[in-house]
Chain A
């Protein structure tokens, strides 16, 4: 079945460091891809998305590019802040299957000042 694999955490960075969180997927067909962020004690917030190959999603300094050839959607940010500390989930969905989200296991990011 469809699945998403994320790099294991926690990822610990100093403020202003460069961030990469790897995400790869396995799916039959071409899903839409998402990054959601979850702050402590809260629900999930959409961070960015891409719906077709070579699309780049971006928001709040975060970016991810839909790479069909490598089935990847890696999350990057040039300079992280303490406020970026959260859990990041990569996910996929197919419109044909009711828009249901399939999540990766999540990656904890900790940013130190």
Chain B
């Protein structure tokens, strides 16, 4: 699986869009990009995943660059409840997820 690189921390004002970047420059053609988040010490929660097309669901949008070497997770209107550690994972099989240290997003008033 391709290694991913994320900034260790980010801040975002409540109500604004949170844009979380992820670099996966060694991603191979059959690997998907997954995003999970972990709020405080709870179990991680699935957010979204995609291959090459942009994806959107009720939680977030995933923008993958044309060369697939990087992606951005967008939380359109961040709230305090979105404060969490966000993990970007690149894998060819959803049964073997490798969680790095992620990005700690702090949403502030």
Do the two chains belong together in a single complex? no
B-to-A contact residues, CB < 8 Å: none
